[in-house]
Amino acid sequence: MAELTAKGRATRARILAVAADLVLKQGVAGTQIEDVRKAAGVSGSQMTHYFRDKRTLIKDVIAWQADKMVRLQQTPELDSFAAWQRWADRVVERQAARDFQGGCDFGSLAGQLVESDAETRADLAAGYEQWLDLFRRGLETMRARGELREDADPDVLAQSLLAALQGGLLLSQTLRRADPLRNSLDAALAYLGSYADPGRRPA
């Protein structure tokens, strides 16, 4: 898609945003390419120009959501106990603002598509790896600064934080209430806190 003009890139981005929104509300199976075309207000030939078929579209929606999620969470950096606490608060607020509908923008794609085919699973795995990298970098900074003890493993902590987030989101989405997500994140933060260097006061 490197050959697209600025206008072409904007149209493609608009179609993707509409597709991602529909997929979140109606699920992948419930979203047809024709729904996306109508909602984006483009012609059939434009649609085909940017996305060969539904599979191509969904593949790009996965990449789009992975990018968005990483951009959303990389500022501010998750490199202090206070930053992680604010992150957790913001996650819960954001879900509460939409009444816990839709769940995790990225995780809900994973839940729907992970067993669809090998290529899609690999795309989803790449998205989670990006996310784990982001968490790990912040945790490595905390350890380098001495906020976390030397025996804290940023890989292990990143995985436990992301799993708590994904599981908490799915439970809160299904039960339509805040407490599973809140309690899951609090537990993961408490686990993180158990690696605080006792010689230092957490920021």
Nearer to a second copy, 8 or 167 (CB): 167
Using CB under 8 A, which of 63, 144, 187, 203 touches a second copy? 187
DSSP calls for 52-86? SSHHHHHHHHHHHHHHHHHHHHHSS-S-SHHHHHH
Does residue number 164 form part of the binding site for a second copy (CB under 8 A)?
yes
Does residue number 81 form part of the binding site for a second copy (CB under 8 A)?
no
**Alpha-carbon span 176 to 169, nearest angstrom:** 10
Using CB under 8 A, which of 29, 63, 82, 203 touches a second copy? 29
Number of Cβ atoms within 10 Å of the Cβ of 115: 9
Does residue number 24 form part of the binding site for a second copy (CB under 8 A)?
yes
Between helices 54-74 and 6-26, what is the axis angle to 10°?
A: 90
Does residue number 47 form part of the binding site for a second copy (CB under 8 A)?
no
**Alpha-carbon span 161 to 196, nearest angstrom:** 15
Nearer to a second copy, 74 or 174 (CB): 174
List residues binding a second copy (CB under 8 A).
Answer: 24-30, 101-103, 107-108, 110-116, 121, 124-125, 128-129, 155-157, 159-160, 162-168, 170-171, 173-176, 179-181, 183-184, 186-188, 190-191, 194
